[in-house]
Amino acid sequence: MLEKGEILSHDEKRQVVEALQAIRKKVSWKSGKDQVHRAKRQRMGHLLPTASISDYEQVLFDIVGDDNNVVYLYQFGKDHYYGVRGFSEAREWLIIFGAGGVMETAFPPEDMDEYLA
């Protein structure tokens, strides 16, 4: 398991790059989860009630596509998940995805630092 501040191996770095490249090309959702996630973000006021999947995905693309945003690695067992934190329209979001750029979730935590801790 990786500890905070631990340097990644060459293979782990490659996996991060591959996952980022994948999600930057296309947001991949688990079957049926795109609508579920969008509807939840609308209910919580994170997205406008009129926001489409394309609108939601544009928020994701803007954040994961910005090389200035911080990328986090979370290891759960043998699986790696990646988080990118960044701003969209003055709101800080956390985008979490796995291998191949498959989405887990994306939302603006009320307190990003507390959430990440």
Per residue in 14-44, pLDDT tens?
999 999 999 999 999 999 999 999 999 999 9
Q: What is the mean pLDDT of the chain?
A: 91
DSSP assignment letter at 100: G
C-beta of residue 71 within 8 angstroms of C-beta of residue 39: no
Q: How far apart are CA 95 and CA 3, in angstroms?
A: 21
Model pTM score: 0.88
- Residue 80 has phi, psi (to 5 degrees) of -110, 135
DSSP 51: -
**How far apart are the C-alpha atoms of 97 and 23, rounded to whole Å?**
8
Q: Which residue has the tokens 């979490």?
A: 96
Q: Which two tokens stand for residue 113?
A: 């630092």
**Is the pLDDT reported for residue 1 higher than 60?**
no
Cβ-proximal residues to 99 (8 Å cutoff; 6+ apart), any chain: 15, 18, 19, 79, 80
**C-beta separation of 72 from 94 below 8 A:** no
Percent above pLDDT 90 for the chain: 74
Domain locations along the chain = 10-116
